Amino acid sequence: MMTRTASAWRVLVLLGALGLAGGAGASEGHQEEPEHEGMAAMKAQMAGKAPGHHGGVHWGYTGAGGPAHWGDLKDEYILCKIGQNQSPIDIGPVVEARLQPITFDYGAEPLEVINNGHTIQVNRGGGAIMVDGQSFRLLQFHFHGPSEHTVGGKHYPLEMHLVHRSADGHLAVVGVFLKEGEENPALAAVWEHMPEQAGGKARAEKVSLDVNALLPEDRSYFRYSGSLTTPPCSEGVRWLVLREPVEVSAEQIRRFREVMEANNRPVQPLHARKILTPF
């Protein structure tokens, strides 16, 4: 049985990987825990500082720091190598289940965009989803290209991940596929302020972005239990991947890839998990 201390440490590791413990997106009034060395390193990574390890190698998407080696870079990353509930996955056969619709409660707020060296991330101060009768507050959303999840073995050009946290520290991530089509005005606002250099940050107080504008009309979804798709690959994440993709233009896809090289972790084995979808 996991002790209370071990359970608390798992939550800290999970939040640290996303820069959520005492950093951008933390709850108002949050009191920081004493910072562990591993926590500081993970927060630095998400801030674009990417500390070295094993002779200066830090995690990334190519070479010695690529996904195949993440589990060997730091002890804290061992789940990247041995975890049985890892993300992303290929969405293939699904099981119909009695699942409730996701309730989205997003609104407009000023735009804050950062380039942390691994992705383009938009920090949020409000908005939430309701899942399993529990509220999960939106902390940030970011992008991967090509998509991390695949459908029947096929990638989409881009994938957006909306990261939410409940009051008790659990994470729920909504995945949205982006396909080539018409220009997306909401995404254009993000791209217009996208920093080109790692560590860059832009805040546009006069630009108000409503995240609803980045979601498809049909919000049916696939659900499974998975992990963070970046080190430390912590498990216990509720994944909610929307079925319907959102259109973005070829130029918007090109623009992301111009700033950010391929940043998708390969799909991971499903093992004994089931992919659920509502009736």
* Residues annotated catalytic, as ranges: 118
Query: Which residues lie below 8 Å from residue 257, measured CB to CB, with a gap of 6+?
Result: 145
**Residue 5 falls in which region: left (phi positive, over 0), alpha (psi -120 to 50) or beta:** alpha
Two tokens at 140? Answer: 């940030």
Distance CA 131, CA 165 (A): 11
Q: What are the CA-CA distances from residue 144 to residues 121, 178, 184 (Å)? A: 10, 10, 17
Two tokens at 144? Answer: 């991967």
Spatial CA neighbour of 265 closest among 97, 70, 101, 73: 70
Sign of the CA dihedral with 252 first, then 160, 184, and 121 last: negative
Residue pair 210/105 in contact by the 8 Å Cβ criterion: no
Question: What end-to-end distance do the CA atoms of the chain give, in Å?
Answer: 35
Query: Which residues lie below 8 Å from residue 28, measured CB to CB, with a gap of 6+?
Result: none
Distance CA 137, CA 260 (A): 27
Distance CA 194, CA 183 (A): 16
Strand partners, 201: 114
The alpha carbon of residue 115 and the mean position of all alpha carbons in its chain are separated, in whole angstroms, by 14
